[in-house]
């Protein structure tokens, strides 16, 4: 909804673009909209219900706004378009690519629209009002459009330019991995190769996980806790907060081994979930490379599930 009565003030922040739904929500009528169009103050874009203020120069960012407003607020600039905005190697302004949640599938002239069911809020940035996938999520999405050699260059250059961390890419990959997910195996091979075979001992990995929690002022969990459940699956989890019914697992396996163990891990997580427990899994790349993000995630979830535990409030500024 508009803050100002004059829609041009909104258009200034949207590269001169307005859409009918915004105008109607602000109290404008189709008759007034038609009057602006007839007077030449606005022009049609070729996309139904989307207009551009007369005299505003056409830009690639304007094309993205037109497509986004036509697709609706649930759409996000992604893949090649996000890579161009984020200035990832090899991507220039060109195609207009959006992602929408499944099963929505709007048809937007001049744009390619992906349907995805696993786009999470943490994978989206607000860049001047335009929703764009984060750098880690964009790199993961590029696995379906890049050759392996090109993908490796994109990742290496983004790391060198400090546009992203290996821990952030690993976290996003960990979030999205499922058997058969198109293109993701290419990235797993690259991540395994970049690890150079280093896998910290589980004792060291657990020590680092606990150290990150202690540094953030979070109470220690119970270590080596029996897997909660109905008894159908037995085992031990790395750590647990019993009152909050929260399990922490630090994963020190290679990506190849994680793929093979995916079904077993899911069965364990589901077994605990059936009796009300939530599981947080952290790859070793994140535990070692981004301990602040690990602690922040644990703190946020504990706060949501908390039953009296005092958790420090962390800085909520976005990270890579």
Instruction: State residue 311's pLDDT score.
Output: 66
pLDDT recorded at residue 188 = 82
Supply the DSSP string of 76-131, one letter for each residue. Answer: EE-HHHHHHHTT-TT--S--EEEEEETT-----TTEEEEEES---GGGEEEETTEE
pLDDT at residue number 7: 72
pLDDT in the model for residue 37: 92
Helix runs in 145-244, H state only: 148-160, 166-176, 184-194, 202-215
- Centroid of chain to Cα 136: 7
Distance CA 112, CA 77 (A): 10
Of 28, 26, 23, which is closest to residue 50 (Cα–Cα)? Answer: 23
What is the predicted pLDDT for the residue at 141? 94
CA distance 12 to 20: 16
Judge whether 100 and 118 are in contact, CB under 8 Å: no
**Is the four-CA dihedral 205, 207, 212, 213 of positive or negative sign?**
positive
pLDDT score for 95: 86
Whether the Cβ atoms of residue 4 and residue 12 lie closer than 8 Å to each other: no
**Residue 244 near residue 305, CB atoms below 8 Å:** yes
pLDDT of residue 320: 46
- The two three-digit tokens of residue 44, written as one number: 């049609």
Which pTM does this prediction carry?
0.69
Q: What is the pLDDT of residue 5?
A: 57
Q: Beta partners for 113? A: 98
Q: Which of 309, 253, 298, 248 is nearest to 277 (CA)?
A: 248
Model pLDDT, residue 196: 53
- CA–CA gap between residue 21 and residue 2 (Å, rounded): 11
Cβ atoms of residues 187 and 139 within 8 Å: yes
pLDDT by residue for the chain (320 residues), tens only, comes to 344 456 777 788 899 999 998 888 888 889 989 999 999 999 999 888 999 999 899 999 999 999 999 998 899 999 999 999 999 999 988 889 999 988 777 888 889 999 988 888 989 999 989 999 999 999 999 998 888 889 989 988 898 888 988 888 988 988 888 776 777 888 888 887 766 555 556 677 888 899 999 999 999 999 889 999 988 888 889 999 999 999 999 888 777 777 778 888 989 999 999 999 999 999 888 888 889 999 999 999 999 987 555 666 555 444 44
Q: What are residue 142's phi and psi, to 5 degrees?
A: -70, -10
CB neighbour class for 14 (10 Å; exposed up to 12, middle 13-18, buried from 19): buried
């Amino acid at each position: 909804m508009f803050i100002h009565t004059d829609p041009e003030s909104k258009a200034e922040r949207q590269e001169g673009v307005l859409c009918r739904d915004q105008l109607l929500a602000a109290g404008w009528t189709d008759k007034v909209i038609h009057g602006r169009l007839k007077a030449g103050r606005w022009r049609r874009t070729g996309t139904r219900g989307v207009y551009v203020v007369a005299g505003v120069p056409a830009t690639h960012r304007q094309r993205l706004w037109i497509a986004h407003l036509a697709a609706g607020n649930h759409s996000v600039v992604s893949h090649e378009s996000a890579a161009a905005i984020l200035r990832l190697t090899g991507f220039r302004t060109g195609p207009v690519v959006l992602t929408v949640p499944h099963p929505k599938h709007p048809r937007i002239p001049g744009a390619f629209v992906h349907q995805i069911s696993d786009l999470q809020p943490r994978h989206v940035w607000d860049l001047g009002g335009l929703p764009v996938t984060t750098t880690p999520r964009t790199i993961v999405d590029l696995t379906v459009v890049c050759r392996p050699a090109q993908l490796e260059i994109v990742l290496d250059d983004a790391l060198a330019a400090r546009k992203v961390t290996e821990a952030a890419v690993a976290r996003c990959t960990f979030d999205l991995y499922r058997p058969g997910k198109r293109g993701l195996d290419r990235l797993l091979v690259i991540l395994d190769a970049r690890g150079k075979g280093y896998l910290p001992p589980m004792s060291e990995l657990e020590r680092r996980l606990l150290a990150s929690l202690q540094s953030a002022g979070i109470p220690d969990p119970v270590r080596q806790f029996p897997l909660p459940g109905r008894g159908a699956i037995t085992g031990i989890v790395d750590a647990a907060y019993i009152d909050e019914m929260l399990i922490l697992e630090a994963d020190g396996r290679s990506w190849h081994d994680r793929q093979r163990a995916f079904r077993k891990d899911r069965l364990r997580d589901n077994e605990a979930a059936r009796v009300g427990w939530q599981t947080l899994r952290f790859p070793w790349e994140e535990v070692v490379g981004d301990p602040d993000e690990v602690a922040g995630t644990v703190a946020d979830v504990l706060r949501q599930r908390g039953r009296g535990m005092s958790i420090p409030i962390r800085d909520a500024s976005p990270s890579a």
